[in-house]
Amino acid sequence: MKKNILILGGGQAGIYAAREIRQNDSESNIKILGEENLLPYERPPLSKDFLLDKKNEEDLYFHSSEVLKNENIDFENVSITKVDFENKKLFTKNDDVYIYDSLLIATGSENKKLSLYNNLKNDVYYLRNLEEAKTIKEKVLNKNKITIIGGGFIGLEIASSLSQLQKKVTVIEIGDQLMGRIIPKQIADLVQSTHIDYGNKIILNKQIDKITKKNANFEILLNDNSLIETDFVIAGIGSTPSVKLFENTNLNLDNGIVTNQFCETSIKNVYAAGDVSNFYHPLYERNMRLESYQHAQNHGICAGKNIAGVKTEYTSIPWMWSDQFNLNLQLTGICNDYDEIIERGNDINNGIIYFFLKNKIIRGACGLGIAGKIGRDIRITSKLSEKNTIVDKQILSDQNQKLNKLIQK
């Protein structure tokens, strides 16, 4: 049956869902409604290769307009301001109406903002979209001392890039380690040493009391009364799911849009995927919300299948990466629920991985290495954790023994 399928959100989950629907349904109308006047593009390079001029705008698009045209997928740049789930309608502020039979919400997440005096609102920069990346890239050209508030992935990737552009970078983190929300301390400490080796200054355990503008520059007062002088301030202090549009509706919200393992929300024919979705994961038997490239892609594909009537459970093992300087960090599975840690390797040139086990079953791993050194073992860990494998700890801890032998076929 020919349907009207709307995808709200022009990011990675949205485009992968659209193409997957088309693979399974040649008839229905598929339209992506994007808030940015850009075809869906890759965000990971924004903080890295884009800032470093190794990639330009054209390199970022997932697919050309030709691909979308060939697959009969419409893209419209429009901002939706009201949702009527009962009558299956979306509205713009001018009351233009979009009618759907099935709706996928893939609105992603948005940056948390620092609470600042109003007069400084425009002086602190954030990075989520291409426009913001362009602004930062242009503005830092004639700046030297850069301060980054927040020692998470985005802050550290920007710190790495700006250091490579010969800037003097200071990172201020409120917690007692970098990337503390999900990365084990052992790995975070290695990343911290690398930043310091390259000349970046890392300040942990400090809060910001005040930021004062001094002519074109700033003074940042920390809670230990120390003062940092800086030319430019960037903040990366986490994100929240983009759900404002749905706050006064019947849609079940709890840290994002609550979905089951089939990407279905509490409202029939309404699905959610990617950063915005707090989804049920059958392997972990609980809900989780992830903000990662692989998840946006795979969750979008899964939603696409379900929308097209191909009932598919989402069982993807969480996986994410960060590239800083010449290091590649990867994490798979769950690394914060364990009763045993096993270390593999002790030299980042060959890669170091920490495995996290619970009841002898491998639950997750986090590793750090030059370029792709840890990729294979991290990927094998995903496969092992997917099957709840009990593994030989001797093999895990011995870098001379290959892990692919552990995969049961």
| 153 scored as a contact of other proteins (CB under 8 A) | no
| 371 scored as a contact of other proteins (CB under 8 A) | yes
Q: Which is nearer to other proteins, 363 or 373 (CB)?
A: 373
Contacts of 117 (CB under 8 A, 6+ apart): none
β-strands 232-235, 257-259 pairing: unpaired
| 246 scored as a contact of other proteins (CB under 8 A) | no
Q: Taking CB under 8 A as the rule, which mask of x and - marks residues 11-50 in contact with other proteins?
A: -----x-------------------------x--------
Q: Torsion angle of alpha carbons 172, 177, 179, 180, nearest 10°?
A: -120
Which of 61, 198, 262, 293 binds other proteins (CB under 8 A)? It is 293
What is the nearest approach in angstroms of other proteins to the Cβ of residue 86? 36
- How far apart CA 356 and CA 187 sit, in angstroms, is 13
213: which strand partners? 218
What is the nearest approach in angstroms of other proteins to the Cβ of residue 304? 12
Instruction: Give yes or no for a contact between 110 and 240, defined as CB atoms under 8 angstroms apart.
Output: yes
| 284 scored as a contact of other proteins (CB under 8 A) | no
**Long-range own/partner contacts, residues 284-292 (CB < 8 A, 24 or more apart):** 284/334, 287/254, 287/258, 288/318, 289/241, 289/255, 289/256, 290/318, 290/320, 291/109, 291/239, 292/318, 292/319, 292/320
| 321 scored as a contact of other proteins (CB under 8 A) | yes
What is the nearest approach in angstroms of other proteins to the Cβ of residue 111? 24
Phi, psi of 57 (to 5 degrees): -50, -45
Q: Which is nearer to other proteins, 308 or 320 (CB)?
A: 320
| 380 scored as a contact of other proteins (CB under 8 A) | yes
Provide DSSP, 18-81.
Answer: HHHHHHH-SSSEEEEEESSSS--B--GGGGTTTTTTSS-HHHHBSS-HHHHHHTTEEEEE--EE
Cα 252 to Cα 53, 91, 244, 255: the distances in Å are 42, 20, 13, 10
What is the nearest approach in angstroms of other proteins to the Cβ of residue 64? 11
Which of 376, 387, 392, 398 binds other proteins (CB under 8 A)? It is 376
| 373 scored as a contact of other proteins (CB under 8 A) | yes
> Of the ranges 83-91, 135-143, 354-362, 401-409, which one interacts with other proteins (CB under 8 A)?
401-409
> Of the ranges 101-109, 141-149, 315-323, 354-362, which one interacts with other proteins (CB under 8 A)?
315-323
Phi, psi of 99 (to 5 degrees): -105, 140
Q: Which is nearer to other proteins, 80 or 301 (CB)?
A: 301
| 363 scored as a contact of other proteins (CB under 8 A) | no
Which of 21, 179, 272, 374 binds other proteins (CB under 8 A)? It is 374
CA 168 to chain centroid: 26
> Of the ranges 31-39, 134-142, 242-250, 372-380, which one interacts with other proteins (CB under 8 A)?
372-380
| Contacting positions for other proteins (CB under 8 A) | 16, 42, 63, 293-294, 297, 319, 321, 323, 328, 371-376, 379-380, 402, 404, 407
